[in-house]
Amino acid sequence: MSKIRSEVAEQFLTSVLGFTKASHLTFHKEVNGEIVKVTGILANPNGNYAFDTLDGTEEVNLIEIDVPTYTDYILELILSSIAISITKEFSWIIDDDHGLN
Q: Per-residue pLDDT tens for 67-77?
A: 888 889 999 99
For 15, residues 6+ apart whose C-beta sits below 8 A from its C-beta are none
How many angstroms from the chain centroid is the CA of residue 41?
8
What pLDDT shows up at residue 46? 67
**Does residue 53 have a pLDDT over 60?**
no
Beta strands in 12-71 (DSSP E): 20-23, 26-31, 34-41, 59-60, 62-66
pTM of the model: 0.82
For 27, residues 6+ apart whose C-beta sits below 8 A from its C-beta are 10, 13, 14, 19, 20, 21, 37, 38, 39
